[in-house]
Amino acid sequence: MKNIVLKSLLRIGKLIAFVLGNYLIILKKYCNWQKRAKNIFLKNYPLMLPVLEALDFFYLSMSPYDISIANREEKGWQDKKELTYGETFLLSIPKIFQNIEITEKDVFYELGSGSGYLSFFVNQYYPAKKVIGIDIIGDFIKICNIVIKNLKLNNIYFYEDNYLDKNIDDGTIFYITATCYASEEMALLEKKLNSLPAGIKVIMISRPLNSPDFILTKYKFLEFSWNFDSVFFYKKI
Ligand SMILES: C[S@@+](CC[C@H](N)C(=O)[O-])C[C@H]1O[C@@H](n2cnc3c(N)ncnc32)[C@H](O)[C@@H]1O
């Protein structure tokens, strides 16, 4: 029953996303939405200014999208759809984290951290003991680590790895954008999450978890670089 409700919710969400998304693409072109969004974000979250300036410096000549494509071509990973790049929209990041409590006992993992904006935000605005970003694209990790060093940031770490192979057992909160995952990768991811202890929290973007060990605590529908999409908040029982 819960699954049927979830699937119907997803279908309705995707339909709304398609219609809304198309309107937004046209609208954004006319009102320079990305720049406006960034200004609004920085007005509300000024601690992010040095981080965004540093990241912008690195992504001036090559965008994160171009870097992801170049790295994948270099490694012969052109067919790996699960590595498709996209970003959580800047203004959606605080909206997501308003729905979850993060304390000094928490270890936050962003599995597939891309350009790193989201992990830097959690590090700057929440007291998490550790914030860890993992991505398989080496250049993202190099850039994030230079930013950490230059800005002398603490309690934040980025690692180049396949997170499915990495030990993440100390994590208490996980953020995962599994948008382009096929059923095989979803199965591997669920297996990994199932092995973690009860009490952990997982924020899944686009794709729900099927395991009965995870209870859905909240659902949001927010903007991402590719369109509006589902945000599922889970707790492991
Ligand atoms: C859609 S992007 C999301 C980036 C960022 N989390 C955000 O929300 O803005 C997904 C990222 O996950 C990475 N990724 C996908 N599968 C991975 C894996 N198994 N191990 C490490 N990184 C992975 C991709 O390289 C990509 O940078």
Amino acid at 174: F
pLDDT digits (tens, 9 = 90+) for 8-45: 777 787 777 777 776 766 766 666 788 899 999 999 99
Q: In this structure, are strands 214-223 and 228-236 parallel, antiparallel, or unpaired?
A: antiparallel
Q: Residues 6 or more apart from 226 whose CB is under 8 A from it?
A: 86, 179
Of residues 191, 199, 206, the one with CA closest to residue 107: 199
pLDDT digits (tens, 9 = 90+) for 144-199: 999 999 999 999 999 999 999 999 999 999 999 999 999 999 999 999 999 999 99
| Confidence at 222, pLDDT banded by 50, 70, 90 | very high
Give the whole-angstrom CA distance, residue 41 versus residue 135.
Answer: 25
- Say yes or no: CB of residue 71 within 6 Å of ligand 1: no
Mutation to probe ligand 1, out of 87, 95, 135, 164 (largest number of atoms < 8 A from CB): 135
CATH of 2-236, one of 3.40.50.150, 3.40.50.720, 3.20.20.70, 3.40.50.620: 3.40.50.150
- C-alpha of residue 83 to centroid of ligand 1, in Å: 6
- Say yes or no: CB of residue 85 within 6 Å of ligand 1: yes
Give the whole-angstrom CA distance, residue 6 versus residue 169.
Answer: 28
Mutation to probe ligand 1, out of 113, 120, 144 (largest number of atoms < 8 A from CB): 113
- Say yes or no: CB of residue 135 within 6 Å of ligand 1: yes
DSSP H or E stretch at residue 29: helix 2-31
- C-alpha of residue 134 to centroid of ligand 1, in Å: 8
Domain boundaries, the chain: 2-236
Of residues 209, 230, 204, 182, the one with CA closest to residue 17: 230
Structure tokens given for 236? 């492991």
Atom 24 of ligand 1, residue of closest alpha carbon: 83
- C-alpha of residue 1 to centroid of ligand 1, in Å: 31
Task: Report pTM.
Answer: 0.90
Q: How many residues does the chain have?
A: 237
Amino acid at 41: F
